[in-house]
Amino acid sequence: MNTAAQNFKIQKYIAVLSVLLFLVKLWAWYMTHSVAILTDALESIVNVVAGFIGLYSLYISAKPSDKDHPYGHGKVEFITAAVEGLLIALAGIFVIREAVLNIYLPHTYHQLDKGIYLIGGTAVVNYFAGWVCVKNGTQNNSLALVSGGKHLMADTYMTSGIIVGLILLYVTGITWVDSAVAILFAVLIMFTGYKIIRSSVAGMMDEADEDMIREMVEVLNKYRKLNWIDLHNLRIIKYGAMIHIDCHLTVPWYFNVHEAHREIDELALLVRSHFGDRVELFVHSDGCLDFSCAICEKLDCEVRQMPFAKKLEWNIHNIASNTKHRINTH
The pLDDT of residue 261: 93
Task: Return the percentage of the chain with pLDDT > 90, whole number.
Answer: 15
Give the torsion through C-alpha atoms of 78, 83, 86, 91, to 10 deg. -130
Cβ-contact 144, 240 below 8 angstroms: yes
Every domain of the chain and the residues it spans: 3-204, 210-320
- Reduced 3-state DSSP string for 271-316: HHHHHHHHEEEEEEEEECCHHHHHHCCCCCCCCCCCCCCCCCCCCC
Does CATH place domain 3-204 in 1.20.1510.10?
A: yes
Per CATH, 3-204 and 210-320 having the same topology is answered no
Query: Residue 166: which residues within 8 A CB-CB, separation 6 or more?
Result: 34, 36, 37, 112, 115, 116, 119, 178
Query: 3-state SS of the chain: helix, strand, coil percent to 5?
Result: 65, 10, 25
| CATH, domain 210-320, list 1.10.10.60, 3.40.50.300, 3.30.70.120, 3.30.70.1350 | 3.30.70.1350
For the stretch 82-132, pLDDT in tens is 777 787 788 778 878 877 887 787 766 678 888 889 999 999 998 999 899
Among 191, 169, 192, 189, smallest CA distance to 179 is for 169
φ, ψ (nearest 5 deg) of residue 300: -90, 15
Q: Angle at CA 292, nearest 5°, toward 267 and 226? A: 35
Element (H, E) at 118: helix 112-140
C-alpha 43/C-alpha 113 separation (Å) is: 21
For the stretch 300-325, pLDDT in tens is 888 998 888 888 888 888 888 888 88
Task: Evaluate if residue 227 carries a pLDDT over 90.
Answer: yes
Task: Evaluate if residue 329 carries a pLDDT over 60.
Answer: no
